[in-house]
Structure 1
Amino acid sequence: MRRLLPVLLAALSITWTGTAAAAAPAELEYVALGDSAAAGPLIPAQELMDLGCLRSTRNWPSVLAAKVGATTFRDVSCSGATTDHLTTSQSTFTGPQPPQLDALTPTTDLVTITIGGNDIGLVGVALGCVNVFPEPLGMSCKDRLTAGGDQIAAKIDAYAAEFAAGLDAVKARAPRAEVVVVGYGTYIRPGGCYPKEPIWARDADYLQASVHRLNTVLGKVSADRGATFVDIEPPSVGHDVCAPITEKWFEGLVPTSAAAPLHPNARGMAGIGGFVAGSLGVSRL
């Protein structure tokens, strides 16, 4: 965070004039990119101007913008986005959205991005692991997806090159910006919590292991491309879909608060935003 830190510190600086103190915040231009893990589908209140993106005004990028004192904040995260939608338009139920990178400028100071889950189909994989009946009835999604080789692991490993190209495109549009990649969380605990969440124990472990593998790829590519990776798996331990309602950051198949299934809720967005702000080293609050 060497380039961004002086800007954030300047935003907190105090200029003294005689006996009066006046805050003199520096300009901080922040752009948020990404998919539904950043956008916050169904969390009130949803942005009406871009309703097709199902973007919440209480998502973690909004939390982060407030904590770092962004003077300009553009959030173009959009539910359903893939890495292609960084550079191409995205179709939504209210019409097409422009490429997300159109929000970047040469003066952008901070860029955050959460992307990749839709590229490998994480939500679809999770839904395919649902088993209404306990073992041995039904079929394990792990057994099905790893027969003859781990299909999801192969997709994740292959995605590295596409993600690297995406980060290169971000850097080209915003060459002076600090790029922060935020990963995906701990959605389900070891062994799961069947039948509360109807996913067998070994399948729950397989799903979270796949998330971890994706985070590992995101972290390695970020380091190779000079971006900062923020791993939210550790701070979200104990806040998974199996947690009590008052503690969970992620909703299960049947949400217990206003949020999309298998996505962060408002509590999770606040927790993630606070953790990312802490990872940057400076918070205005």
Structure 2
Amino acid sequence: MRYRRVLFAAVSTIVLLIASATAATATERTYRNYVALGDSYTSGPLIPLPRLDPLGCGKSTQNYPAFLAGALRVRSYTDISCGGADTTNMTQPQSVFLGRNPAQFSALRADTDLVTIGIGGNDYGVFGTLVGTCPSLRASDPTGNPCQEQFTVGGVDTVKAKIADTGKNVERVLAGIHARSPRADVLVIGYPRIAPQSGYCPSVLPFAEGDYAWLNDVEQTLNSAIEKAVAADGESSFVDTFGPSAGHDACAPKGAAWINGQHTKLLAAAAYHPYRTGMVGVARVILGHLR
């Protein structure tokens, strides 16, 4: 079984590199100096093998920035992403277990010509609120939507209300990137799908059935806010991963899922975070965008 897993990983990497070579030749611009910014959906906690700069960021050598850097054959590559980061950590250092991650903008240079950034899900605790609260409410109404009801006050969805401000934060982040790296192509990476389009898998994703649709709606609202920030910025581009990840949600069969469910899996993925397959999938989507 272990041999099969290793073989699958090797084959998937080879397929990615072949596809990447095609994408790279089709890309009008050759990139030399690449910087990756972002949170845990960029860093890839518990995906082997971990990087130590610092260990507490949960940064993997097999995340999508690593695949992208290899496929594009960049001359220099800096991945300063960190689990738990929000938009404030672009300009402020982040304290993590056994260390500190510098302000992520510190990696940007005047000669940086490619920047990817995946950020916004941790602003105002949106992701943490969902996965920290919703599973505990399932038992109260397994077929209903108790989590959505919990966060609806006076007819207002308080989670979505916070997301509107996240978009404004992302706009400021993009302005900061352009000021520091004016020559860079800036790609803003959206968040992939966590819940399925239909159906349920409570042993993997322990939300009430009615909250599955709400979770999808919240995530689409977040991605839409980020995409609108990119449009307002006018100098960046948005890379949608929500659409391409259909069928690769946490409920998908083993090997097809891009996202892990409720159980942390050492040497695979943190709870509710991407697997290596998800990082490969996102890298492919980005390369397709660059064609």
TM-score (norm 1): 0.86
User: 2:275 pairs with 224, 249, 265, which one?
Assistant: 265
Query: Is the 2:113–2:185 contact (alpha carbons within 8 Å) kept by the matching residues of 1?
Result: yes
2:247 matched to 1:241?
no
2:118 matched to 1:111?
no
Residue 126 of structure 1 deviates from its aligned partner by 2.4
Q: Which amino acid aligns with 1:170?
A: I
Residue 49 of structure 1 deviates from its aligned partner by 3.1
**1:128 aligns to what?**
133
**1:22 aligns to what?**
none
Residue 194 of structure 1 deviates from its aligned partner by 4.2
Is the deviation greater in 195-204 or in 164-173? 195-204
Q: Which segments of 5 or more consecutive residues in structure 1 lack a partner in the other structure?
A: 12-26
Alpha-carbon separation, structure 2, partners of 1:147 and 1:99:
35
Query: Is the 2:144–2:209 contact (alpha carbons within 8 Å) kept by the matching residues of 1?
Result: no
1:57-77, Cα deviation, whole Å (9 max, x unpaired): 000111111112211100000
Query: Is the 2:120–2:170 contact (alpha carbons within 8 Å) kept by the matching residues of 1?
Result: yes
The structure carrying a bigger helix percent of its residues is 2
**2:190 aligns to what?**
183
1:251-271, Cα deviation, whole Å (9 max, x unpaired): 000246710111110011011
**2:8 aligns to what?**
none
**1:21 aligns to what?**
none
Residue 33 of structure 1 deviates from its aligned partner by 0.1
Alpha-carbon separation, structure 1, partners of 2:217 and 2:255:
25
Query: Is the 1:39–1:54 contact (alpha carbons within 8 Å) kept by the matching residues of 2?
Result: yes
Q: Which amino acid aligns with 1:207?
A: L
Instruction: Note the aligned Cα RMSD (angstroms).
Output: 2.1
Identity of aligned residues (%): 39
User: 1:96 pairs with 93, 100, 104, which one?
Assistant: 100
- Aligned pairs for 1:78-97 (under 5 A) are 78-97=82-101
**2:148 aligns to what?**
142
User: 2:223 pairs with 205, 215, 219, which one?
Assistant: 215
SS in 2 for 1:166: helix
Alpha-carbon separation, structure 2, partners of 1:145 and 1:10:
45
SS in 2 for 1:129: helix
User: 1:154 pairs with 161, 166, 170, which one?
Assistant: 161
User: 1:193 pairs with 200, 216, 224, which one?
Assistant: 200
TM-score (norm 2): 0.85
**1:15 aligns to what?**
none
Alpha-carbon separation, structure 2, partners of 1:136 and 1:39:
33
Query: Is the 2:145–2:211 contact (alpha carbons within 8 Å) kept by the matching residues of 1?
Result: no
Query: Is the 1:126–1:207 contact (alpha carbons within 8 Å) kept by the matching residues of 2?
Result: no
SS in 2 for 1:260: coil
CA distance 1:237–1:134, shift in 2 (3 Å) = farther
2:174 matched to 1:167?
yes
Alpha-carbon separation, structure 2, partners of 1:40 and 1:182:
14
1:72-111, Cα deviation, whole Å (9 max, x unpaired): 1000000010100000111011222211001000000000
User: 2:41 pairs with 31, 37, 40, which one?
Assistant: 37
Alpha-carbon separation, structure 1, partners of 2:172 and 2:140:
43
Query: Is the 2:142–2:209 contact (alpha carbons within 8 Å) kept by the matching residues of 1?
Result: no
Query: Is the 1:187–1:240 contact (alpha carbons within 8 Å) kept by the matching residues of 2?
Result: yes
Q: Which amino acid aligns with 1:125?
A: L
